[in-house]
Structure 1
Amino acid sequence: MNEQSPPNRCRLVLIAPPDAEPEQFETELDAALAAGDVASLILPQYAMDEDRFQAFAERAVPTAQQRGVAVIIAGDSRVAGRVHADGIHIEAGRQELADAIVRLQGRMMVGTGGAKTRDDALDLGELRPDYLFFGRFGYDRDAEPHPRNLTLGRWWAEMIEVPCIVLGGTDVASVEAVAATGAEFVALSAAVFGGDAAKAVAEANAILDRTAPRFEE
């Protein structure tokens, strides 16, 4: 988070886009984080090799952390340790997630995703990760969130205590539909990066302030 008293409603998570150039992304990221509340930043490895991914993360992690924003590495756990990330995202299956929780939870956040059905989600949720992510990194290609992600997010938020993140669409206004599910977090990537990142974050927060349901204290 980057506020001492974060808002009591669905909050924004940013995801680095595929093929981001480190210097440009660092500039965009700093502007975005200065523009409004952001709970965390996820850095997926995508197709980058270990060295390139680490170099990318070495620029992005301190930029976010200086703004009080937690950074989650989705990829190589060795990179997460080297860049002093706040968390790691695991999508390689139940056993790897279980191993990561045993080894790392307590020292850093351990989140997961990749569930396409309720049964998949429950199977992962039994391990008590720090969050469950509904969506796929780099697949926010439509203006609106994917209907399946909204459906899973609504069901999860109503039934399970583990927080969830639901991927929004390419339109900043898509945060409203995600917040309406009761999800704790809405993730944006293409809607923020590659354009006016600061304006997008400010607009997303304004929409959430105006429309998102408030959580019970």
Structure 2
Amino acid sequence: MPDSDRQRLYIVTPVMRDPAAAAARLDAAFASGVDIAAVLVRLPEKLAERDAVNAVKAIVPVAQTHGAAVLVEGRPEIVGRSGADGAHLVGVVALRQAIGGLRPAHIAGVGALRTRHDAMESAEAGADYVMFGEPGPDGGAPPFDVTVERVGWWAEVFETPCVGYAASLEEVGDAVGRMEGSSLRAWGTHGTVRLAC
């Protein structure tokens, strides 16, 4: 199986309030033999910029030593100083605003894509990946079957990688079984689970 088709995990941290503890948990995940492709770091909303940079710096060496990319959710301005590999932007507008400062040196991914049209616009704008199904600010998420359908549709039609959100490893296993033979490439866990194609 080519490396690009190997199933790997996309880890999403809970909102990170204790960077040292998060780094230790991540290190334990790597030590267990889990094959992690990327770590999405979620930070408290009102965290000062210097504190945000330092929080991400606690995760970067752990992830990058094991060949995993580090993405910062919604804070593209700290990517370079923190050593992260890129940013995960929330919505097409945020992607368009940030992509010029991220590319070509850093990854620009995007989520909060509620429609197929949003996803297509994001890919056209140059997103390195699109994400489907993650919860909104109110915690609500589309039914998992909708996410699986969207990921399957995207994988069949587009070249830009996609990531789908699942609430549990059980959902991940079920979706992998249903999508066998498609362009499915990775799943992830750490409080939340993501599927990537």
TM-score (normalizing by structure 2): 0.80
Pairing 1:75–2:74 present: yes
- In structure 1, the residue matched to 2:103 is 105
Partner residue of 2:56? 57
Q: What TM-score, normalized by structure 1, do the two folds share? A: 0.73
Decide whether aligned partners of structure 1 residues 48 and 186 sit closer, same or farther in structure 2, where only a CA change above 3 A counts.
farther
* Contact 1:166–1:178 (CA under 8 A) maintained in structure 2: no
- CA-atom RMSD in angstroms: 2.8
Structure-2 change in CA distance of 1:19 and 1:45 (3 Å): closer
Structure 1 contact 15–187 (Cα < 8 Å) conserved: yes
* C-alpha distance in structure 1 between counterparts of 2:91 and 2:115, whole Å: 16
1:173 is aligned to 170
SS at match of 1:165: strand
2:5 aligned partner? 8
Give the structure 1 partner of residue 157 of structure 2.
Answer: 159
- Tell me the percent identity: 29
Residue aligning to 1:91: 90
Q: Could you tell me how far apart the structure 2 residues matched to 1:53 and 1:174 are?
A: 32
CA distance in 1, matches of 2:57, 2:23: 10
Question: What SS does the aligned partner of 1:129 have?
Answer: coil
Residues matched between the structures, number: 185
One-letter code aligned to 1:190: G
Matches within 5 A, 1:16-27: 16-27=13-24
Kindly indicate which of the two structures has a greater share of residues assigned to strand.
Answer: 2
Q: Which amino acid aligns with 2:58?
A: R
User: Counterpart in 1 of 2:188?
Assistant: 187
Quick check: 1:6–1:37 contact (8 Å CA) kept in 2? Answer: no
Residue 183 of structure 1: CA displacement?
3.5
**1:103 aligned counterpart, secondary structure:** helix
Residue segments in structure 2 that go unaligned for 5+ positions in a row? none
Structure 1 residue ranges (4+ consecutive) displaced by more than 4 angstroms after TM superposition: none
Does residue 118 (structure 1) correspond to residue 116 (structure 2)? The answer is yes
C-alpha contact 1:72 1:89 (8 A) present in aligned 2: yes
> Which sections of structure 1, spanning at least 5 residues, go unmatched?
193-207, 209-214
Specify the alignment match of 1:30 in structure 2.
27
Following superposition, the deviation at residue 20 of structure 1 comes to 4.5
Q: Is the 8 A contact 1:40 1:70 kept in 2?
A: yes
Q: Which moved more, 1:114-123 or 1:175-184?
A: 175-184
The CA deviation at 1:53 is 2.5
What residue in structure 2 maps to residue 131 of structure 1?
129
* Equivalent pair of 2:91/2:111 in contact (CA under 8 Å): no
Per-residue displacement from partner, 1:8-51 (whole Å, max 9, x unpaired)? 33321001112542222111100112222111111123424134
